[in-house]
Structure 1
Amino acid sequence: MTANLLNKLNNFIELTDEEKRSIENAAIIRKNYRKGQDIISEGQRPDAVHLVEEGWACRYKSLGNGNNHIMAYLIPGDLCDVHVTILNEMDHSIRALTPLKVALLPAHKISYLMESNGRLARALFWSTLVDEATLREWLVNAGSRSADRRLAHVFCEMLLRSRIAGLTDNTSFDLPLSQLELANSMGMTHVHVNRTLQKLRSEALIAFSNKRMTILDWERLKVFAGFKSNYLHCENIEC
């Protein structure tokens, strides 16, 4: 069930069959989580890297007023952090946004993979660099784009991230997020998200049904959002 991760890594370097088996053999422990359950909580010390295999999760920080702020979405093929086991404790939490299935790659197995195979180490490090670039883009999104362009931008991103992982059907992809979850990640109110979605629909840019997003006019949505895909480093797919 590591196919989506392998799809992602193949975007950077074409893995050999042996390298693919090495990753598959490292991911031998599976765990299921219910929607809303923490996979890793702030303050814990991780002993394994978590790979999302089915469902969606998010990184989030708990705020003093009882609210949460979502900082990233994790979809099938995403690793919680290749180097997370180096930390003495987590500075944020990871929560299941849907029923979730993850594979655990124990710290010693990840270390062995990266020490014994330079190509795999580079590919895994590449995935970390893309995560960091995505976080930078989210900071720009929150601070510099209007609400409608902010949402349009993240929809463009999620289409490409889903495509890289092999999860799309043309310009249609799963988006199992509530409007409140979108609000918590975009720095908007629930009401503002609702109005913005209605605007994007009325302009025939997107359609949304049964937790699935379809981008109706990809080129026009990219222009509207000011979206440039270079931070995702998706050289081997159509962007």
Structure 2
Amino acid sequence: MRRFFVLSIATTLLGGCSCQGTSGQSSSSIDAGPASPQQVSPPQAVQPPPAPPREPTAFEKATQLHAQGRLSGESGNFEQALTFFQQAHELAPEWPLPVYDTGLTYILMGDIPKALGFYEQVDKMAPEGFSDTKRVIECLRREKAGRVPKGTFRKFIDAMRSKDQESFEKKLEELTRTAPNFYPAWRELISYGKDLDEQDRRLAKALALKPDAESKGELLIYKSTLLRRRGKEEEARKLLQSLVEDPQSTKNTVIRAKEALTFTLPP
């Protein structure tokens, strides 16, 4: 199962153009004495001046500012990162990524109310969903309301940044002890279960905590995979078909359930 939180979205920087200079020309001639009036050298071709660099578009400038914000954030200069993200947003107000990263920066700064506000702004800009915005919003709302301990989501981000699986698993297990109602940790731990029974228990725990619609759909699709591993092909198929037909299913859930029906299960 893929990891829950997308910490980084690839960004391509658009660089300016460069112009090459022209090389000097050399010529040789045979000294044949004074030139006669008829021996006039042909005129040299005039090289046009190099074209001036193209002025970057507003979106290209916004992309560059966003990249600078990312670099500032990675170095721990959060205030400067926020400035760059704000400038990028002003140049490209319909681009959700600078607003998304502003929210992430406030999480790293420990300001959950401000982070939530910016993620809700992203959700309005991209109602169909942008990255993991809807799931992050649900988690931040629960933390703000005191349903999970303060700082839980920040610790979850630290866990997601783990470079090795062993460290990742240990941090998740610690989160399930300190914040037992934090469903993303249970969700991520499912695949680490030593057997199908343990994976089933962890999946049931995550579902019992009433996750957001997107996470619920993914959990149920994963449940269909566990059913298949137990040889319950027909039960798995019915579960997937119910997700496709459920009007409460998100667009991504329907797409993934259809893919599972078509490619994961036999016809």
The answer to whether the superposition gives a TM-score over 0.5 is: no
Q: TM-score range by the shorter chain?
A: under 0.3
Q: Which one has the largest radius of gyration?
A: 2
Q: TM-score, normalised on structure 2?
A: 0.25
Q: TM-score, normalised on structure 1?
A: 0.27
Q: Which has the higher helix share?
A: 2
Q: Which has the higher strand share?
A: 1
